[in-house]
């Protein structure tokens, strides 16, 4: 690493979770938080504690588990009860931050808050002081800063720094800014806020115009030294700046920006896959850095250049980001030691219980497939981790279908430690019958909004990855499943989505803040 350090502030567990259908249970949030710590994230925004009891519990557990290894942050509106609740969730951590925000743009002042400029400044200052009374690390965000008058933005920033803000975050809340505009905004603050040197300038960009990463990099060029981002660019509407893109841009173009991060880049791909599995949000194949096609070179001229000299068409190496391609690795005669060594080499850290479960899955897979690839092993790990905390488990599945017959599915499920339940259903095809049988047993009726299948590796015996999106009770849920049998993978994906629906049943959508 070289040059100045950029603080990476990850908000996957807060802003990322606000992406429709991407809600996580507490166990899943702990899994993601652990992965973020291993990745080397400087600050984890663990949630919005006052939004719901579930959010509070998750922030509290993450603070207790990981607060000695990285800074754990809780979000709060500029309200006393929000700030108090945030501190209550964070107080057991060694490294804490309270992040308070208040809208400052004219459109928000007039139409949402019904407050004038002096009232905004007063409330922001009072809230920052209250947060600073709890901990020394306080962040203030003027929501919709990119559409706020620059002179007023300077005033708010100056007053909140005097009140105790150690980080001032400049959000492009609705993704409206352009890179040159955002650069000028940060440069203006550095030039016109007298005490700006007492705080770190941060940026939080949304991707409504596809400019979140570009705007974030423009802010870094202008002097911002913290970037707020999410794994895979998750977030409300079109999402946030993608952490992996920010990190690798800084690493690859350190010659230009003169900055770097503390991120262990070899953990980027495994962390991306973990978040995708847990949320059910598929990473598009041509996604920069972590997409399946990110290091694929189809054109003949590119392949020739790569053989002559890698840097002709490759500006970073797949291994630099922990990319799991289709490299042949192991077969059914591979032993535990070889398998464990390869798991470690791929960047996964598993306790003995997880390892034994995944090794058993590997042996079962090796009996079905001639060759097992890196991507297959990654899917096994992610499947086990993604199943954490699911109420319903699949015991058995049987389907029958064919020309001139009625497709039928018989499924046996178990709810926690209760007696297994079995039911059957018919459908337009075996997959439709499976979905119907799952709904009958669990007692939830859902509408399938999206169904996608793709191959994880290569060959006729490749594992399939199925992603589903369902709607029930006015809410959206995603699920993902893996298997060499596409019907089994479909059942696993649909069951995952239904499990999420069960976890959310009867719980209203939290009254979350607008995206900062």
Residues annotated within a binding site for Mn(2+): 15, 204, 206, 240
Give which of 8, 489, 488 is closest to 241, Cα–Cα. 8
Side-chain-side CA neighbours of residue 313 (13 Å): 15
Angle 10-153-186 from CA coordinates, rounded to 5°? 55
* Cβ neighbours around 344 below 10 Å, total: 11
User: What does the radius of gyration of the chain's CA atoms come to, in whole angstroms?
Assistant: 24
Q: How far apart are CA 112 and CA 124, in angstroms?
A: 16
| Continuous segment of H or E residues that includes residue 189 | helix 179-192
Give which of 292, 299, 277 is closest to 458, Cα–Cα. 292
User: Are 100 and 139 within 8 A, CB to CB?
Assistant: yes
Q: How far apart are CA 334 and CA 362, in angstroms?
A: 10
Longest dimension (CA), the chain: 80
Q: How far apart are CA 313 and CA 301, in angstroms?
A: 10
Q: How far apart are CA 245 and CA 509, in angstroms?
A: 30
- What residue numbers does the annotated binding site cover? 15, 204, 206, 240
By CB atoms closer than 10 A (0-12, 13-18, 19+), residue 115 is middle
Give which of 107, 137, 106 is closest to 42, Cα–Cα. 137
Q: How far apart are CA 269 and CA 276, in angstroms?
A: 10
HEC string of 206-272?
ECCCCCHHHHHHHHHHHCCCEEEEEHHHCCCCCCECEHHHHHHHHHHCHHHHCEECCCCHHHHHHHH
Helices (H), 374-456: 374-386, 430-442
In order, the DSSP letters of 258-315 are -EE----GGGHHHHHHHHHHHH--PPPTT-TTTSTTTT---SHHHHHHHHH-GGGT-S
């Amino acid at each position: 690493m070289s040059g100045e350090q950029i603080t990476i502030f990850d908000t996957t567990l807060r802003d990322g979770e606000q992406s429709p259908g991407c809600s996580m249970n507490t166990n899943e949030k702990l899994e993601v938080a652990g992965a973020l710590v291993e990745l080397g994230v400087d600050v984890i925004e663990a949630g919005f504690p006052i939004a719901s009891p579930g959010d509070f519990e998750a922030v509290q557990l993450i603070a207790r588990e990981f607060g000695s290894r990285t800074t754990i942050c809780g979000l709060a509106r500029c309200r006393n009860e929000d700030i108090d609740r945030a501190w209550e969730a964070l107080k057991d951590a060694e490294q804490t931050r309270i992040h308070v925000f208040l809208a400052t743009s004219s459109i928000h002042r007039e139409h949402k808050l019904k407050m004038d400029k002096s009232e905004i400044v007063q409330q922001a200052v009072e809230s920052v002081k209250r947060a600073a009374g709890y901990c020394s690390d306080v962040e203030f965000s003027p929501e919709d800063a990119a559409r706020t008058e620059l002179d007023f933005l300077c005033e708010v920033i100056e007053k909140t720094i005097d009140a105790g803000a150690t980080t001032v975050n400049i959000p492009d809340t609705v993704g409206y800014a352009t890179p040159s505009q955002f650069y000028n905004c940060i440069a203006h603050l550095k030039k016109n806020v007298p005490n700006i040197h007492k705080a770190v300038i941060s940026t939080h960009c949304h991707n409504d115009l596809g400019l979140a990463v570009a705007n974030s990099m423009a802010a870094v060029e202008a002097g911002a030294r913290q970037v707020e981002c999410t794994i895979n660019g998750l977030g409300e509407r079109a999402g946030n700046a993608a952490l992996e893109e920010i990190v690798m841009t800084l690493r690859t173009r350190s010659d230009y920006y003169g900055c770097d991060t503390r991120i262990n880049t070899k953990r980027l791909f495994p962390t991306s896959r973990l978040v995708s599995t847990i949320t059910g949000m598929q990473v598009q194949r041509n996604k920069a850095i972590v997409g399946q096609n990110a290091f694929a070179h189809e054109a003949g001229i590119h392949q020739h250049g790569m053989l002559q000299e890698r840097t002709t068409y490759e500006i970073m190496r797949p291994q630099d980001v922990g990319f799991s391609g289709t490299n042949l690795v192991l077969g059914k005669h591979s032993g535990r030691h070889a398998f464990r060594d390869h798991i470690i080499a791929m960047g996964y850290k598993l306790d003995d219980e997880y390892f034994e479960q995944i090794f058993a899955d590997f042996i079962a897979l090796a009996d079905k497939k001639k060759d097992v690839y890196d991507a297959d092993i990654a899917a096994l790990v992610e499947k086990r981790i993604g199943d954490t905390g699911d109420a319903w488990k699949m015991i058995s599945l049987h389907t029958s279908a064919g020309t001139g017959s009625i497709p039928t599915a018989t499924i046996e499920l178990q709810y926690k430690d209760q007696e297994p339940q079995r039911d059957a259903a018919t459908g337009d095809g075996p997959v439709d019958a499976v979905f119907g049988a799952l709904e009958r047993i669990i007692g939830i009726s859902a509408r399938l909004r999206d169904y996608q299948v793709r191959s994880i590796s290569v060959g006729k015996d490749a594992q399939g990855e199925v992603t589903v999106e369902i709607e029930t009770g006015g809410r959206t849920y995603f699920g993902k499943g893996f298997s060499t049998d596409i019907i089994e993978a479909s059942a696993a994906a649909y069951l995952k989505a239904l499990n999420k629906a069960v976890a959310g049943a009867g719980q209203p959508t939290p009254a979350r803040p607008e995206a900062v």
